[in-house]
């Protein structure tokens, strides 16, 4: 993960480290990025960086300011869609589980939800 920090600092000189700090186990942002990106393969990292660099180049050509991505936006760059607002939000929401709008609940999950709703009604009803 420290290699990611070095690469980001190359893409966003001075800005990356000033926003995210140095890569260390006492840095909360470094720890969060490490945890959230732990499931990515080397191929995923390659795709994300290639798409991120294309995004930077396109933004510079349009004379737009370029800021470092969040971990969710970085994950979105694997598919080349990180700066689509909906895709970035889905990347955040579906980091560990499918989005609720696309997930079919199992019978156990539905029963658990019904029990929790009944318990809440008992508290507030």
Quick: pLDDT tens for 32-71: 999 999 999 999 999 999 999 998 998 899 898 889 999 9
d(CA 100, CA 7): 34
CA 70 to chain centre: 6
The answer to whether residue 82 is domain-embedded is yes
The answer to whether residue 122 is domain-embedded is no
> SS3 letters for 25-52?
CCCHHHHHHHHHCCCCCHHHHHHHHHHH
Domain count, the chain: 1
Which tokens hold the place of 83?
A: 């700066």
User: Which comes out higher in pLDDT, residue 103 or 48?
Assistant: 48
Mind listing the pLDDT tens digit for each residue in 1-44?
889 999 999 999 989 999 999 999 899 999 999 999 999 999 99
d(CA 71, CA 62): 24
Host domain of residue 19: 2-97
* Per-residue model confidence (pLDDT) at position 97: 52
């Amino acid at each position: 993960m420290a290699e990611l920090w070095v690469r980001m600092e190359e893409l966003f000189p001075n800005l990356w480290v000033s926003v995210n700090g140095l890569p260390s186990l006492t840095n909360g942002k470094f720890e969060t990025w490490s945890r959230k990106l732990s499931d990515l393969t080397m191929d995923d990292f390659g795709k994300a960086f290639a798409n991120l660099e294309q995004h930077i180049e396109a933004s510079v050509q349009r004379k737009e300011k370029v800021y470092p991505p969040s971990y969710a936006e970085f994950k979105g760059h694997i598919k080349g869609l990180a700066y689509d607002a909906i895709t970035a939000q889905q990347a955040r929401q579906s980091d560990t589980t499918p989005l609720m709008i696309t997930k079919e609940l199992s019978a156990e999950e539905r029963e658990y939800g019904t029990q929790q709703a009944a318990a809440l009604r008992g508290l507030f009803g």
